[in-house]
Structure 1
Amino acid sequence: MAYAAAMGAGFPTVVMGLLIAAVYFLPSLLAWRRQHRWRDKILLANLLTGWTVIGWAVCLGLALSRPRTS
């Protein structure tokens, strides 16, 4: 019992960490999935400003937008 407590929660902790990472990088994942022209820039912005709600929302908006074709 003491060994399990010392090792952390295990599987639930890993699953929760992966879910949090997936939500955090959702704008980047969407940009890559949609083959967005600015996907590299969206990934960088998401990495640097995604921890703020505003930065994350801007990245999500960019990922879901269609860039101009001009």
Structure 2
Amino acid sequence: MLRITTTQAKAIRRKRADLGLTKKLACKEIGIGYVTLNNLERGEYMTKPSIYAKAMEWLAKDY
């Protein structure tokens, strides 16, 4: 299990806002479920390596 830090959570929220995505659309882009995205955006969340990788790849995309 890998931990999503508060800094990473803030980056996820900021990118979603910058792109004007709803949580539902962001879930589709990242490839995760709605509840998982809620947990990621709150931060200090332990998640599976596969979910962590999807979220970090999405953050890095376009940068």
Identify the TM-score tier after normalising by the shorter chain: 0.3 to 0.5
TM-score by length of 2: 0.36
Using CA pairs under 8 Å that are at least 6 residues apart, name the structure with larger relative contact order, 1 or 2.
2
Highest CA radius of gyration, 1 or 2?
Answer: 1
